[in-house]
Amino acid sequence: MWRLKFAPDQASTFAEQYDWLFWATTALTIFFTIVVGLLVIFFALRFREGKKVDRSNAHDHHLMLELTWSIIPLIMGLGIFGWASYLFVETRQPPKNALDIYVIGKQWMWHAQHSNGVRENNMLHLPSGTPVRLTMISQDVIHSFFIPAFRMKQDVIPGRYTQMWFTPTKPGVYNLFCTEYCGTQHSEMGGYVVVMEPSEYQEWLANGGDNVPVKPMTMVQKGEKIFKDKACFKCHGDQDIHEGPSLVGIYNQRRVMKDNSVRLADDEYLRQAMYDPYAHILKGYENTMPSYKPKSTDDLEGGLSEEDVLNVIEYIKSLRSSPTAPAPAIPPLATGVPPTEVPN
């Protein structure tokens, strides 16, 4: 006979908080099931026809009783609601110092990229004791990133970023699933999450992950390369020019649009600026930028893949005006190239 497992591993700070709430709700469920169940059985047997019992003074209605059994469950329910909502709100507020990792879902695999550029498929290596924030997007249909040992799950949607964060607590190997039905091999879209000691993680990362032979470029480096290859710098240099605004230091800043609305230049904003530039135009500029949205996920044709977009965003984030940040890479304009041309 197998050894039965009754609870999943508990390997994140949230998992511990989660299980308190889970078992409290379970206690309540079992208590009410047993009390009401036993009452029903007891009444049905005690008042069975032929039993000589007192049936006098039976009420058909009783307002106080009705109010009692409406209000007590309501108060208990609101208690659970408050507790659960408090925990949930916490899961939506990643700490500022969280380690950023990027995840792309596609039929039928998970693709993760660490900020130094190490990539892995259907695996995710994490340091223990460090808050981690995943920024995720899908290339095709809706998926859902689920790590039972962390009690954490978030749908991964095409067309926009979703995030989840957690702090792994215990080194080990844990299940990773896709929990939103996504087609033929849905049940095989998953693998493992490997939680390591922070030092081991750093070593693993420095050695280029599991199976990358050459030292990979960091995400910033990859983004910078794309920025050069696509000649983004022609319009987006270190100064605002007629063709386009500078991107230096804009990340997470408020920007005033042509229609005088104000938008925060976050990941979502930057992604939209690349894929659908006319959705919001900065005040003082015209509709001159081409869209870098690929024709399809198989045929990029001059567009940027979701992964490219993430790399470029990472690069734009690095463009700070503070002296410690890397200086914006703005190579001199190659002479003879007309500035309006967009090389593919």
Which of the residues 176 through 215 are near other proteins (CB under 8 A)? 177-188, 190-191
Q: Is 278 in the site for other proteins (CB under 8 A)?
A: no
Least distance CB 164 / other proteins (angstroms): 9
Cα separation, 54 vs 194, whole angstroms:
66
Footprint on residues 146-165 left by other proteins (CB under 8 A): 146, 148-149, 151-155, 157-160, 162
Pairing mode, if any, of strands 190-196 and 123-127?
parallel
Q: Is 66 in the site for other proteins (CB under 8 A)?
A: yes
The residue with tokens 């994140």 is 12
Cα separation, 86 vs 199, whole angstroms:
33
Question: Interacting stretch for other proteins, rule CB under 8 A, among 32-40, 125-133, 224-232, 313-321?
Answer: 32-40
Among 96, 124, 126, 144, indicate the residue that binds other proteins (CB under 8 A).
144
Q: Is 18 in the site for other proteins (CB under 8 A)?
A: yes
Cα separation, 200 vs 205, whole angstroms:
8
Least distance CB 214 / other proteins (angstroms): 30
Q: How many residues bind other proteins (CB under 8 A)?
A: 89
Going through 122-274 in order, the beta strands assigned E by DSSP cover 123-127, 132-138, 143-147, 152-156, 162-166, 172-178, 190-196, 254-256, 262-264
Among 27, 65, 241, 337, indicate the residue that binds other proteins (CB under 8 A).
65
Least distance CB 100 / other proteins (angstroms): 19
Q: Is 140 in the site for other proteins (CB under 8 A)?
A: yes
Q: Is 272 in the site for other proteins (CB under 8 A)?
A: no
Nearer to other proteins, 67 or 206 (CB): 67
Least distance CB 181 / other proteins (angstroms): 4
Cα separation, 317 vs 307, whole angstroms:
15
Which ranges in 92-197 belong to alpha helices (H)? none
Nearer to other proteins, 9 or 240 (CB): 9
Least distance CB 198 / other proteins (angstroms): 25
Cα separation, 98 vs 126, whole angstroms:
12
- Report whether 196 contacts 180 (CB < 8 A): no
Cα dist. 153→148, 306, 332, 337 in Å? 8, 21, 46, 49
Nearer to other proteins, 48 or 254 (CB): 48
- Report whether 230 contacts 308 (CB < 8 A): no
Nearer to other proteins, 56 or 239 (CB): 56
Cα separation, 168 vs 178, whole angstroms:
19
Footprint on residues 95-124 left by other proteins (CB under 8 A): 107
Ramachandran class of 66: left when φ > 0, alpha when ψ lies in -120 to 50, beta otherwise? alpha
Among 16, 27, 78, 325, indicate the residue that binds other proteins (CB under 8 A).
78
Nearer to other proteins, 6 or 332 (CB): 6
Cα dist. 193→98, 173, 175, 257 in Å? 18, 6, 6, 42
Least distance CB 207 / other proteins (angstroms): 26
- Going residue by residue from 284 to 323, which x/- string records binding to other proteins, judged by CB under 8 A? ------------x---------------------------
- Report whether 149 contacts 9 (CB < 8 A): yes
Nearer to other proteins, 74 or 206 (CB): 74
Nearer to other proteins, 41 or 241 (CB): 41
Q: Is 91 in the site for other proteins (CB under 8 A)?
A: yes
Among 55, 213, 260, 287, indicate the residue that binds other proteins (CB under 8 A).
55
Among 2, 97, 239, 338, indicate the residue that binds other proteins (CB under 8 A).
2
Backbone φ, ψ for residue 6 (5° rounding): -110, -15
